[in-house]
Amino acid sequence: LKIMAASLGMAGLTACRWAEEQILPFASRPQGRVPGVPQQFATAFELGGAAVGLLVTSVDGRPVKVEGNPLHPGSLGAVHAWAQASVLELYDPDRSQHPVRRDAAQETVATWEDFLSFSAPRFVALRGTKGRGLAILSEASSSPSLARLRQRLAEAFPESTWTDWEPLSREAEREGTRLAFGSPLRPVVDFSKADVIVSIGDDFLFFHPNAIRQARDFASGRRAVDGKMNRLYVAESGLSLTGAAADHRVALPPRDVPRLVAQLMAALAAHGVAALDGVAAAGGLAKGVAAFVSPAAKDLAGARGRSIVVAGPSQPPGVHAAVHALNIALGNAGSVVRYVEAEARGASPSRGQGAALQDLVAALHEGSVDTLVILGGNPVYDAPVDLDFGRALAKAGTSVHLSTYENETSRTSRWHVPRAHPLESWGDVRGWDGTVSVQQPLIEALYGGKTPVEILSVALGEPNATAYDVVRATVAGLTKAADKEVAWKRTLHDGVLVGGAFTPVSAPKVDDAAVSKELAALLASPPATGLELLFSADSSVWDGRFSNSAWLQELPDPLTRITWDNAACFAPADADAAGVKHGDVVRLTAGGRNLEVAAYLLPGVAPGTVVLPFGYGRTAAGKVGNGAGFNSYLLRSSRALWAASGLEVSRTGRSHPLACTQDHHAIDKIGFEERGRRVGQLVREGTLPVYRAEPDFARKMGEEPASLALFTELTYKGDHQWGMAIDLSACIGCNACSIACQAENNIPVVGKDQVARGREMHWIRVDRYFSGEPEHPETVFQPVTCQHCENAPCESVCPVAATSHNDEGINQMVYNRCVGTRYCSNNCPYKVRRFNFYENFPDVPQIQKMVYNPEVTIRSRGVMEKCTFCVQRIEAVKIAAKNERRPLLDGEIVPACAQTCPTQAIVFGDLKDPSSRVAKLHKDERSYAMLGELNVKPRNRYLARLKNPAGVAKESV
């Protein structure tokens, strides 16, 4: 009730979406709807076969802002950057707007009726041959409706084939559970119950399908409540956000990971935890690995039933199986991790999706595929390069591609059908734990797009079936409620179906012999030589599907801080040995294939490893994404889906400019000595033992002067005094706050050239700092917004009083008063003010104008802009409380950055209320003011970052 009151009550969720599939003009608006008053509707966003729940704000029938659904176990009110940016994709003018038919060299704009006239007789004929010659290729989907129609299709077309292809799948994890338990299961981990966490190449805080929930659970154990913290060990080849948060981290090449797992098993056996028989410790690892394995094994053994070991998608099935065996031996199953029977989403257990895709390509070359239907995805771009899927696709009798964009695969297919966007269509999806959510449209399909279930309905001879009909029938079959109508409305309102999650498997047993054999085979494999190439998802465009999103393209990578590009990340020592410098264009050769790509020197990358993100080098993404970055798929083969050995690197003599934001307005995070005291210290860090001994160590690390102002200080007399607290121990650097702020406040995109000039416009940035040795860096993130200083240095230099304070302590910007002197920016020690050098909203297409938040003005050229604490949200809640004649509640006003933060690192509230959460955090012993020695009195305070390494004495800060 408390969650619903705080998160849903003010959103006006008093009515569900009406059943009729029509958009009513406001000349005849539905009863109870007030023009201009925002409403929120529950829906869901699926990525890679798993969904998170959303609450989408709609203004007059126009969705403008995406938030997380607090009732969904996978989102808990937060949401990642990809879902935040989905509203921009909805209004993308480059989206496909009509079906296209291609015959030989001729391209014809068609209609949905044209497609039905062509396809319906074809499917009738295929039914007569029991589906011989029919092949379906689908991206990963958790939709229960799609699964139900897939079963019906198999019955109607028994000789047809169905293949799943997801370029960033967790197929190895699925195969690992089949190897360990005899059937494919899905591990659902509750990190809030884990005192000790060991990650084997798993970026569970960011790139996992359940990352939002996992980040929230992990952060709950990082705040040193009662002097206790969890401890995180990470072994990985590249540097990830999970690795950046680790208390102990070791970087090793992909080839050494199985041997590290074997050593961990041997070390645990010495502590009385025997996971597998016959697995001996493997030698030949670097010295740092032993220093990692020994304390990890000791901590795991001492936290039986309260620990967890996880492995990432790039690890082979044998490593995953060994990890499951470890968790069973440690007694973690049923407490920290539960295994559920997820519905089958692809190939049979004995063959992964890569092998199934090879079978489909072989069938295409043989000419045995009469009709190929591709439901989403872009296999011509992202399928393994050795399969040459584009050439195989051309050999199909006919091919149909359903896609949001007319992409590389669409242009090779005979038929392209526009796909409806998730925000404009009916659908159903499952979360990682199986929770069912209904996707409901917030706007009529802008271009008449169709969904996968509607395409399958055509194949089943039901061309008039709508997605609404199919989804409603599915939900009726899934619910256990007696009244189906009430259950349907409740599901729409809450965003989750009661009782729809997967059922946990009780006491799964490990096949020790099978796991031991598989791990032994990995250990016996001849060691790889030379450099290894490790592929990874991209933090902005994922696998390339978000390439045409300008918000995501301009979002800096959390670690490299690169925008509008990808780059091959080298360990500094390897780069020096190869004579490669930052920004050099190098030629990578793997498996006889070449790719020229820019180089980036990234601390923390394992020696002998080059990390290469996917998702760039597109040729049919749209105006935004075409030509950005380098196509990493050109080096990915079906035998090396995640890592390729024998990599050769050569210099080309050219360079490529990389637009990185990290060095803009750079200040040393540790500050400097002045007159015997430390000043300018931006980030303050310590260990748990230090915090236990000196809880106020952070304040002692930087002297804050007595109040001595050059000018008469203002007195703020408002009923409320707004402020913010940011916990650096909880922040994982995921950038969700930056995109949320951009969507909420109509922040423009300026492009790569302007970013390279230091002119990015984000109102909140997440600074990343490295310290220590390049091979073993310490990494910390610090979100920085306008600090709303009480003695604001920007105000004293503005000649026209465009920047000023209100009575509630908010530093305001009066845009139509600003004349663009930029004195305020020069005088801001935090460098958080942004200037419009150019008109950033020129000739915006009408459809794209719909994305803008009507509560926030569009700034014209030549004005300064910055964080406002989302003043529009503050005023909206104040007005509502005044109308209801009640006081404001703590936590009722939540800025966009705080609302979307997965770890709740950002807290906003009224400092005048001593019982408010933000007031208590400001008084916390870990809190400090960044650059407090300047006496600008910022309204934002930071909580010092804590780490919990094993065996660390008090002196190490």
Structural element, H or E, at residue 875: helix 871-883
Q: Which pLDDT value is given to residue 383?
A: 96
Task: Tell me the C-alpha distance between 385 and 361, whole Å.
Answer: 12
Sign for the pseudo-dihedral over CA of 512, 514, 517, 523: negative
Q: Are 731 and 903 in contact (CB under 8 A)?
A: yes
State the DSSP code for 504.
B
Residue pointed to by tokens 């719909």: 850
| Residue-by-residue DSSP string for 189-232 | E-GGG-SEEEEES--TTTTSTTHHHHHHHHHTTSS-GGG---EE
Q: List the Cα angle 522/525/528 in 5-degree steps.
A: 110
pLDDT digits (tens, 9 = 90+) for 834-853: 999 998 888 889 999 999 99
pLDDT bucket at 709, cuts 50 / 70 / 90 = low
| Residue-by-residue DSSP string for 614-640 | -S---SSS-TTTTT-S--GGGG-BTTB
**Which range scores top for mean pLDDT: 531-540, 835-844, 928-937?**
531-540
- Residue 179, pLDDT above cutoff 60: yes
Q: Which pLDDT value is given to residue 18?
A: 44
State the DSSP code for 579.
T
Task: Tell me the C-alpha distance between 88 and 423, whole Å.
Answer: 11
Residue among 35, 14, 49, 257 at smallest CA distance from 170: 49
Residue among 387, 461, 401, 451 at smallest CA distance from 424: 451
Task: Tell me the C-alpha distance between 549 and 624, whole Å.
Answer: 7
Q: What is the CA radius of gyration of the chain?
A: 28
Residue 772 bridge partners (DSSP): 777
Residue 401 bridge partners (DSSP): 374, 416
pLDDT digits (tens, 9 = 90+) for 893-916: 999 999 999 999 999 999 999 999
pLDDT bucket at 941, cuts 50 / 70 / 90 = very high
Q: Which pLDDT value is given to residue 11?
A: 46
pLDDT bucket at 282, cuts 50 / 70 / 90 = low
pLDDT digits (tens, 9 = 90+) for 266-276: 999 989 888 78
pLDDT digits (tens, 9 = 90+) for 878-894: 999 999 999 999 999 99
- Using DSSP's 3-state secondary structure scheme, residue 931 falls into coil
Q: Which pLDDT value is given to residue 539?
A: 95
Over range 87-106, report the average pLDDT: 92
Q: Which pLDDT value is given to residue 934?
A: 86
- Residue 349, pLDDT above cutoff 70: no
617: left (phi over 0), alpha (psi -120 to 50) or beta: left
Task: Tell me the C-alpha distance between 907 and 945, whole Å.
Answer: 16
Over range 757-764, report the average pLDDT: 94
Sign for the pseudo-dihedral over CA of 743, 747, 751, 753: negative
Whole-number average pLDDT of the chain? 90
pLDDT bucket at 665, cuts 50 / 70 / 90 = low
Read off the tokens for 344. Answer: 């089958």
The residue type of 622 is: G
What is the DSSP pairing of strand 643-655 with strand 531-536?
Answer: antiparallel
Q: Are 524 and 283 in contact (CB under 8 A)?
A: no
Q: Considering all CA atoms of the chain, what is the largest pairwise distance in Å, rounded to the nearest integer?
A: 90
- Residue 802, pLDDT above cutoff 90: yes
Read off the tokens for 902. Answer: 């997965």
CA of residue 31 relative to chain centroid, distance: 38
The percentage of residues in the chain with a pLDDT greater than 70, rounded to a whole number, is: 91
Q: Which pLDDT value is given to residue 703?
A: 60
pTM for this predicted structure: 0.92
How far apart, in Å, are the Cα atoms of 714 and each of 599, 693, 719, 869? 51, 38, 15, 20
What lies within 8 Å, CB to CB, of 54 at 6+ separation is 42, 43, 44, 45, 66, 67, 68, 69, 72, 75, 79, 83, 495
State the DSSP code for 50.
E
CA of residue 362 relative to chain centroid, distance: 35
- Residue 672, pLDDT above cutoff 70: no
CA of residue 690 relative to chain centroid, distance: 33
Q: Which pLDDT value is given to residue 681?
A: 80
pLDDT digits (tens, 9 = 90+) for 555-595: 999 999 999 999 999 999 999 999 999 999 999 999 899 99
The residue type of 875 is: E
Q: Which pLDDT value is given to residue 17?
A: 45
- Residue 691, pLDDT above cutoff 60: yes
The residue type of 669 is: K
The more confidently predicted of residues 674 and 578 is: 578
pLDDT digits (tens, 9 = 90+) for 309-348: 999 999 999 999 999 999 999 999 999 999 998 865 443 4
- Residue 350, pLDDT above cutoff 50: no
The residue type of 643 is: A
Over range 381-408, report the average pLDDT: 95
Q: Are 45 and 79 in contact (CB under 8 A)?
A: yes
- Residue 15, pLDDT above cutoff 50: no
The residue type of 475 is: V
State the DSSP code for 895.
-
Read off the tokens for 258. Answer: 């199985």
